[in-house]
Amino acid sequence: MEDKIGDGKAEGIVGAPRSRSAVKCETDEMKDRIIVALDLEDRVSAIEMARTLVGTAGWVKVGMTLFYAEGPSIVRDLRALGFKVFVDLKLHDIPHQVEGACRMLTRAGADMLTVHAFGGRAMLETAMKATASAARKFGTVPPKVVAVTVLTSLDDAALKAMGVERSAAEQVIMLAGLARDAGCDGIVCSPNEAAVAREALGPDAFVVTPGVRPAGDAVGDQARTATPADAIAAGASHLVIGRPITGAPDPAAAAKVIRKELQS
C-alpha cells in the first residue's frame, strides 16, 4: 500500500504545523491548500464558479449534491480546468460496495476521496487496496483516501444524543488512530481538532478541515468552526471552504481575501 499516513511518501503532502511566518512566502502552497466546495446543483453553475477560481484555489470539492446531479464526468470537466478534484461522497457501506465505489472514483479521476472512519478498519483497508489496484488498471495516480471522523455539524451534545459519550475531540482521536492503522492518507475533522489530530498522525498526514469561517461570516449549520488562518496554524493541511466563497457576492474576491489572509 502506498502513501500511508506518516510514511512521508505522498506527493504534495503539506501537513506539518507551521508558524505564520513560515508560510509567508509559500504563495503556491497556500493556493494548493484551499479546497472550494462546489455544492451546486448543475454542471453549468459549477463550471462557471470554478472558472472564476482558477489561479486562486488549487482544489475544488465535488460533494453529493453535484455528483448526484451530474455524475462522474463532472470530475473530468473540473480537472480539465486545472483543478485537483476532491470527491467527497463519504463512503460508508460494506467493504464490497466501498471497493466498487473506490474503483469507479479512481477511474473518474478523483485526486482525493472520503470514506467514513466509522465504516471500520476492514472497510478502510478495502478502500486503500481498491484505489491502488484501480489506479494500476486505469493508468492513473491513486486518489488520496481521507477518513471522515466526526462531521463538523456535530457537537458534543449531538454525539451524546447518538450514544457517543466521548467528546468530539476524543472521538476524532480514536477514529484518526483507526484510519492511520488502516493505512489511510489522512482524515477529515474540524479545525478545533486539527492540532490533536496532527499530533496523533504526524507531520505527513492529510488533515483536511471543513467548518472554516472567515471572522464575522455566518456559521450556518456548522457547529465546530475556526478562521482559515487558525485552522492552518493548528495543523490543517487543507481547508474545505464552501458557502463563505460560493455564497459571496463575488466568489473570486472572497477566495482571494482568504488566500491573502493565509499568506500574511
Nearest approach, Cβ of residue 21 and ligand C5P (Å): 27
Nearest approach, Cβ of residue 109 and ligand C5P (Å): 19
Round to whole Å and give the CA distance between 34 and 10: 18
Listed in sequence order, the residues at least 6 apart from 109 whose beta carbon sits closer than 8 Å to its beta carbon are 75, 76, 79, 85, 140
CB closer to ligand C5P out of 28 and 221: 221
Upper half-sphere CA count for residue 60 (Cβ side, 13 Å): 29
Round to whole Å and give the CA distance between 151 and 141: 28
The whole-angstrom distance between residue 138's C-alpha and the CA centroid of its chain comes to: 23
Determine whether 90 is an active site residue. Answer: yes
**Residue among 40, 66, 123, 148 that touches ligand C5P (CB under 6 A):** 148
The owner of cell 505564520 is 20
Q: Which stretch binds ligand C5P (CB under 6 A): 23-31, 155-163, 194-202, 237-245?
A: 237-245
The contact mask relative to ligand C5P for 103-122 (x = CB under 6 A, - = no) is: --------------------
Q: Which stretch binds ligand C5P (CB under 6 A): 1-9, 139-147, 193-201, 235-243?
A: 235-243
Nearest approach, Cβ of residue 108 and ligand C5P (Å): 18
The residues in 175-234 that bind ligand C5P, with binding defined as CB under 6 A, are 188, 210-211, 220, 222
The β-bridge partners of 144 are: 112
Name the E strands within 49-83. Answer: 59-63
Helix (H, G, I), strand (E, B) or coil at 72: coil
Round to whole Å and give the CA distance between 147 and 176: 8
Catalytic residue among 24, 31, 61, 90: 90
Which residues participate in catalysis according to the annotation? 90
Where along the sequence are the contacts to ligand C5P (CB under 6 A)?
Answer: 37, 39, 61, 63, 88, 148, 151-152, 188, 210-211, 220, 222, 240-244
